[in-house]
Amino acid sequence: MHHHQNSLSHYPSPPNGHAQQQHQQPHLMAQGSPAGQIISPHWQQQLLKCDMIRQSRSPHHRARASAMASRTVPKSAIPITNPNSKITITSPKPEAANGRPKTFEDLSTTAASTSSEPATKSPGTPTHPSSTTAPIAEFQRPTATKPPENTWGSLDMGGVNIKNLPASSGLFSFTFLINLYLNHNALTAVPAEISKLRHLELLDLSGNALATLPPELGLLVQLKELYLFDNHLSTLPPELGCLHQLQTLGIEGNPMDSNLKAIIQKDGTSALVCYLRDNALNTPPPPQRQWKNLLSAAEREALTADPNAETFSILSFNILCERYATEKLYGYTPNWALAWAYRRNNITKEVLAHDTDVVCLQEVDIAQYEDYFVKTLGEHGYSGVYWPKSRAKMIQDEETRRAVDGCATFYKTSKFQLVEKQLVEFSSVAMQRTDFKKTDDMFNRVLGKDHIAVVSLLEEIHTGTRFIVANAHIHWDPAFSDVKLVQSALLVDEVEKAANNFAKYPPRPPASATSGSNNDPDAKPERPPPHYSDGTKIPVIICGDYNSVPSSGLYEYMSTGHLAPNHGDFLGHTYGKYTSEGLKHRLNLKSAYSTPGAGGGLNGDNHITNFTPGFKGEIDYMWFSAGNLGVNSVLEQLDQRYLDKCVGFPNAHFPSDHVALACEFRVKPPRDSTKSA
């Protein structure tokens, strides 16, 4: 208590009656500012909250006030609830633009039930097609990160003269906490372990003796209210710029840097957070990702010694197109790191650094494909195949049309020739199926989505080996798991058809037959091209962004070749044979990163392909036909120490919210192929 009185004497603040004065005199003069300066509505709210928190300095003030309120509620108004039911915690109410909320509880939050009504999106609002949460949201999203289940979400440790908070404190195991009050104690430091409380929405550190804050506070991206009133802070760590949902940053009663204070006085919390975010020093980059060998030493040696061994590499990357990379969706990313010119350069570096034979990109808009990627990758020996999403055909305005994204597949012309290319428009293919009845579900759920896949039929120019590479972007919304299943099943059906037709093509004639006889006596005998009895003998790669985790029905279907017709991911909807007989395919697909040692799949060790504050996990895949392909190596996972210091991507080092996948494969010759001489 004495400490708090001292802090008040050092840094003058408004009297306790300030709130009433403010209500009567909206144009008050800011403390410590030139005479006549008008207080902005932002600063009025700052001072109001500061005054209310100063009145809560007694021990466990919030807890006692909450208990008192519950006792004084008329019995007729007390709801009868199931003590075993789940308790949902609401997020704090937004800071009012003008005027004074009725009670302090309007400024902070307590446990309450939330509406189960589904969130709606205003027309025309860009929504990034990812399974992740849009970082800045006015409402609860289906994929928003949720705290561990618990019957309480608030903890009041205020006003009890705590002098030290050790890093080993059991407090940091309460990861379910939503509100934490440590105000009016005698703390001189807050340990970095505070960052373990990732679900905090309100943190009150007011009335302590803090001269510095841990940078790890910037990892608490769910924070909406951060009260630092009446401490000894003269500056703020730039990492607080990641707190993109923060509505109130309370700094009154601190000897704060005049520039920082001026920003929040004039334009409010969000302006100061943006300033910290965009002016933060660039953090050290992560270690360069290396190729992880999955073969034993003997296998690698045998592969190297085999003159007929055939390998190729492929990269898949959702690059986050320019239209979706907005500050509203990625409020934690510095503006300069979100700018397309900056991200495009980093995307190019990422793609070229791994020098793969095939590159599959998702979310490439028409303009960037035509104006940039064709030229840039062409200079490095690549040729491309591209289609935009279906809606591009309906758009008359050229500028708007060129902003539509799609899938682009590039291949090295020194290794492959393109035999054929195919566009798979999921809605069109679904419309043509006679077993798909034209129900409301079909029109509202499947046919309204314009996602596509690009299928490339390639032939190795030296050996004649054939490959099919499918590059897909599957629908993002977790509430449409049935649509994801239908789209992936349609894709596999089309790939199987393409493979069966490709197998019927006659073998490529030997080079000597087209270029004349070779009279060089030292020339090696020419290897005859392989013959394929059916489509299952042709190596197949199906990669892209599937917006589905390894525990999903989509993953089960792709990796096992079948899925029960009544699987829960169909959500009870009817889709012809898919839901009467189940899903089936004969491609013997496996995820490359599920190979032992690669780290992905159901038994993986937290393989991450997508990282935002609301989601961190594996949703991008590289499926391969295990009967005729084997995995030699994969691009290793991200450095965990680096990830522990990040709130999400994109950032200065990663240009997309997705992470590139890359694999090297070896070809297993078909059993019925003609033996080489």
Q: Which residues are catalytic?
A: 545
Q: How far is CA 472 from CA 112, 202, 264, 488, 621, in A?
A: 42, 41, 45, 9, 10
Sign of CA dihedral 478, 446, 316, 603: positive
Name the strand (E) or helix (H) holding 258.
helix 258-267
User: Distance between CA 89 and CA 112 in Å, rounded?
Assistant: 6
Residue whose C-alpha is closest to residue 31's, from 257, 272, 253, 264: 253
Q: How far is CA 389 from CA 324, 393, 405, 448, 450, in A?
A: 15, 8, 6, 12, 6
Three-state DSSP state, 226: strand
Sign of CA dihedral 390, 394, 398, 404: negative
Backbone dihedral angles phi then psi of residue 521, each to the nearest 5 degrees: -70, -20
Compute the C-alpha angle 632/634/638, nearest 5°: 160
Compute the C-alpha angle 204/209/213, nearest 5°: 65
Q: What's the number of CA atoms in the CB half-sphere (13 Å) around residue 624?
A: 28
User: Distance between CA 368 and CA 554 in Å, rounded?
Assistant: 30
Cα 617 off chain centre by: 8
DSSP 8-state code for residue 371:
I
Residue whose C-alpha is closest to residue 225's, from 83, 100, 93: 93
